[in-house]
Structure 1
Amino acid sequence: MSNMIERLVLVFAGVCVALAEYELSDYASHPCMRECVEGAPPMSCTYNFTVENYFVLTKACYDCPYNVTDCYRPHCVATDGVGRGIITVNRMLPGPAIQVCHNDMIIVNVHNMLYGSEGTTIHWHGVFQKGYQHHDGVSMITQCPITSHSKFQYRFKAANRGTLFWHGHAGLHRSDGLFGALIIREPLSRDPASHLYDHDLPEHTMIVHDWLVELTINRFAGHHHAGYDNKPASMLINGRGAFQEFVDPDTNQTVHTPYSVFKVRKDKKYRFRVISNGILNCPIQVSVDHHDITMIATDGVPHEPIVVSSFNIFAGERFDFILDADKDVGNYWIRTRGMADCGVKSAKQVAILRYENATEEHPTGPTDYESGRREGKLLNPWNKKGTPDLTPVSWLNTTLADPLHMKQVPDKKFYFAMDFNKVDNYVFNHEELYPLAAVNRNKRLYLPQMNHITNIAPPSPPLSQYDDIPKDMFCGSHNTRNCTHQYCECIHVIKVDLDDTVEMVLIDEGVTFNANHPIHLHGHHFRVVAMDRVNESTSLEEIKMMDEAGLIERNLETPIAKDTVTVADGGYTVIRFHADNPGFWLMHCHIDFHQSIGMGLIVQVGELNQMPRTPKHFPRCGNWQYTGEVDVEEKPRCPVDGAGRNHRESWLLMYAAMLSILCIKSM
Structure 2
Amino acid sequence: MKCTQARLRQYDFVITRESLRPDGVKTSMILVNGGFPGPTIEANLGDTFKIRVTNYIDDDQGTAIHWHGLFQKETPWMDGVPSVTFCPIAPGQEFTYEFTADRVGSSWWHSHYSAQTAGGLFGAIVIHGASPYTYDVDLGPVLIVGLSAIPYHMRQIALTNNNLINGKMDFNCSSIPAGGPSCTPNAGFSKFRFQSGKRHLIRLVNTGLEGLQHFTIDGHKFTVVGLDYTPIQPYEADMISLTPGQRADIVVYANAKPDSSFWMRSDVDPTCSASSQPHAKSIIHYETANEDSSPTSTKIPYTLTGDCVAQPLSKTRPLVAQPLAPLGPSFVQTLDYTLALNYTPMGAPQFLVNGRRFRANYSQSLLLLANDDGGSEDASAEYGILSNVWDFSYNKTLRMILNNFFVSPHPMHLHGHDFWILAQGRGVWDGTIQGNTSNLMRRDTHQMIGAGADGSPSYLVLEFTLDNPGVWAFHCHITQHLILGMYMNIIYGQDAIKKYKIPASIDATCVSWREFARGNPVEQPDSGL
Residue identity in the other structure for 1:177: G
Q: CA deviation at 1:605?
A: 1.9
Q: What is the distance in 2 between the residues matched to 1:100 and 1:269?
A: 22
Q: CA deviation at 1:312?
A: 1.1
**2:421 pairs with one of 528, 534, 550:** 528
| Cα contact 2:83–2:365 (8 A) shared by 1 | yes
Q: Deviations over 1:58-90 (max 9, x none)?
A: xxxxxxxxxxxxxxxxxxxx4101101101101
Quick check: 1:621 aligned with 2:510?
Answer: yes
Q: CA deviation at 1:142?
A: 0.2
Residue 193 of structure 1 aligns with which residue?
133
Residue 263 of structure 2 aligns with which residue?
333
Residue 522 of structure 2 aligns with which residue?
none
- SS state of the match for residue 273, structure 2? helix
Q: 1:286 to 1:428 in 2, by over 3 A?
A: farther
Counterparts of residues 467-616 of structure 1 (less than 5 Å) = 475=380, 490-497=386-393, 500-510=396-406, 513=407, 515-531=408-424, 533-534=425-426, 538=427, 542-543=428-429, 546-547=430-431, 551-570=432-451, 571-611=458-498, 612-616=500-504
- SS state of the match for residue 51, structure 2? strand
Residue identity in the other structure for 2:149: V
Q: CA deviation at 1:185?
A: 1.1
Q: Which has the higher contact order (CA 8 A, sep 6+)?
A: 2
Q: CA deviation at 1:453?
A: 2.2
Q: CA deviation at 1:578?
A: 1.0
**2:169 pairs with one of 236, 241, 248:** 241
Q: CA deviation at 1:352?
A: 0.8
**1:216 pairs with one of 152, 155, 163:** 152
Residue 301 of structure 2 aligns with which residue?
374
Q: Deviations over 1:426-451 (max 9, x none)?
A: 3442xxxxxxxxxxxxxxx5433322
Q: 1:617 to 1:298 in 2, by over 3 A?
A: closer
Q: Deviations over 1:394-438 (max 9, x none)?
A: 64111136x44533410111112223334x323442xxxxxxxxx
Residue identity in the other structure for 1:205: P
Q: What is the distance in 2 between the residues matched to 1:288 and 1:323?
A: 9
Quick check: 1:406 aligned with 2:325?
Answer: yes
Residue 276 of structure 1 aligns with which residue?
206
Q: Deviations over 1:210-235 (max 9, x none)?
A: 101121232x34x7xxxxxx222201
Q: Deviations over 1:303-354 (max 9, x none)?
A: 0111112111111100111111102341111111112453352422101111
RMSD: 2.8
Residue 289 of structure 1 aligns with which residue?
218
Q: CA deviation at 1:180?
A: 0.4
Residue 188 of structure 2 aligns with which residue?
258
Q: What is the distance in 2 between the residues matched to 1:457 and 1:394?
A: 38
Q: 1:149 to 1:406 in 2, by over 3 A?
A: same
Q: 1:620 to 1:464 in 2, by over 3 A?
A: farther
Q: Deviations over 1:494-524 (max 9, x none)?
A: 22236611111222234xx3x2000110111
Q: What is the distance in 1 between the residues matched to 2:46 and 2:395?
A: 23
Residue identity in the other structure for 1:613: K
Residue identity in the other structure for 1:463: L
| Cα contact 1:309–1:374 (8 A) shared by 2 | no
Q: CA deviation at 1:454?
A: 1.6
Residue 520 of structure 2 aligns with which residue?
none
Q: CA deviation at 1:290?
A: 1.3
- SS state of the match for residue 226, structure 2? strand
Counterparts of residues 412-427 of structure 1 (less than 5 Å) = 412-422=331-341, 424-427=342-345
Q: How many percent identity over aligned positions?
A: 26
Quick check: 1:207 aligned with 2:110?
Answer: no
Q: 1:393 to 1:79 in 2, by over 3 A?
A: farther
**1:125 pairs with one of 37, 54, 68:** 68
Q: What is the distance in 1 between the residues matched to 2:143 and 2:246?
A: 11
Residue identity in the other structure for 1:317: Q
Q: What is the distance in 2 between the residues matched to 1:344 and 1:173?
A: 20
Residue 20 of structure 1 aligns with which residue?
none
Structure 1, unmatched stretches of 5+, are 1-36, 57-77, 224-229, 247-253, 430-444, 480-488, 626-667
**2:160 pairs with one of 221, 224, 232:** 232
Q: What is the distance in 2 between the residues matched to 1:593 and 1:200?
A: 34
Q: What is the distance in 2 between the residues matched to 1:474 and 1:501?
A: 20
Residue 250 of structure 1 aligns with which residue?
none
Structure 2, unmatched stretches of 5+, are 175-183, 452-457, 516-529
Give the structure-2-normalised TM-score. Answer: 0.86
Q: CA deviation at 1:294?
A: 1.0
Which protein has the bigger helix share? Answer: 1
| Cα contact 1:498–1:579 (8 A) shared by 2 | no
Q: Deviations over 1:162-187 (max 9, x none)?
A: 11110111112111111000011103
Q: CA deviation at 1:110?
A: 0.6
Q: What is the distance in 1 between the residues matched to 2:360 and 2:185?
A: 45
Moved over 6 A (4+): 622-625
Residue 112 of structure 1 aligns with which residue?
55
Give the structure-1-normalised TM-score. Answer: 0.69
- SS state of the match for residue 463, structure 1? helix
| Cα contact 1:276–1:318 (8 A) shared by 2 | yes
Q: 1:163 to 1:391 in 2, by over 3 A?
A: closer
Q: What is the distance in 2 between the residues matched to 1:447 and 1:255?
A: 39
Q: What is the distance in 1 between the residues matched to 2:160 and 2:307?
A: 20
| Cα contact 1:283–1:313 (8 A) shared by 2 | yes
Q: What is the distance in 2 between the residues matched to 1:583 and 1:287?
A: 39
Q: CA deviation at 1:263?
A: 0.7
Q: CA deviation at 1:602?
A: 0.4
**1:298 pairs with one of 211, 214, 227:** 227
Q: What is the distance in 2 between the residues matched to 1:405 and 1:559?
A: 8
Residue 461 of structure 1 aligns with which residue?
365
Q: CA deviation at 1:158?
A: 0.5
- SS state of the match for residue 59, structure 2? helix
| Cα contact 2:388–2:488 (8 A) shared by 1 | yes
| Cα contact 1:295–1:308 (8 A) shared by 2 | yes
Counterparts of residues 73-222 of structure 1 (less than 5 Å) = 78-187=21-130, 191-194=131-134, 197-201=135-139, 204-218=140-154, 220-221=155-156
Q: CA deviation at 1:151?
A: 0.9
| Cα contact 2:90–2:509 (8 A) shared by 1 | no
| Cα contact 2:272–2:308 (8 A) shared by 1 | no
Q: Deviations over 1:374-395 (max 9, x none)?
A: 326x7xx45268xxxx951464
Quick check: 1:318 aligned with 2:207?
Answer: no
What is the aligned length? Answer: 490
| Cα contact 2:349–2:484 (8 A) shared by 1 | no
Residue identity in the other structure for 2:415: H
